[in-house]
């Protein structure tokens, strides 16, 4: 029986735990399957290995939002904005700033009244 893409990426992640691209591929497969918790775990590994991987922060926030963790999602996007600023990824920064604005602002913003 042929292995699924998800199984292939999971095996690759076990064999190459410090490869951000492998973790990102695994996370993408989990996102397609709407397995939000597993996707967020894989995406946390992406940013652990490569803290400047801006696309991972975008997806991490989305996965967290989809699993009902809006504060954690905003934190991921806020960290993503910082990474995008560091790396000059202005398009990613704009996208995450939009996601933050749509979600109520940066973490803790609702308490700043």
> pLDDT 10s digit of each residue in the chain, 113 long?
567 999 999 999 999 999 999 999 999 999 999 999 999 999 999 999 999 999 999 999 999 999 999 999 999 999 999 999 999 999 999 999 999 999 987 665 544 43
Quick one: CA torsion of 57, 51, 86, 106, rounded to 10 degrees? Answer: 40
Residue 68's H or E segment, with its range, is: none
pLDDT of residue 112: 42
- pTM surpassing 0.85? yes
* C-alpha dist (Å) from residue 110 to 14, 61, 72, 87, 98: 40, 18, 14, 29, 17
* All domains in the chain, ordered by first residue: 5-105 (1.25.40.10)
Separation between Cα atoms, residue 27 and residue 32, nearest integer Å = 9
Residue 74's H or E segment, with its range, is: helix 70-87
pLDDT of residue 111: 41
Separation between Cα atoms, residue 15 and residue 61, nearest integer Å = 26
């Amino acid at each position: 029986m042929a292995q699924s893409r998800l199984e292939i990426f999971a095996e690759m992640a076990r064999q190459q735990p410090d490869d951000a691209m492998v973790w990102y591929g695994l996370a993408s497969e989990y996102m397609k399957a709407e397995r939000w918790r597993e996707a967020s775990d894989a995406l946390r590994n992406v940013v652990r290995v490569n803290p400047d991987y801006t696309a991972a922060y975008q997806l991490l926030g989305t996965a967290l939002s989809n699993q009902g963790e809006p504060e954690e999602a905003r934190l991921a996007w806020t960290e993503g904005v910082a990474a995008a600023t560091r790396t000059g990824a202005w398009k990613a920064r704009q996208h995450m700033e939009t996601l933050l604005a749509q979600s109520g602002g940066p973490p803790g913003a609702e308490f700043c009244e």
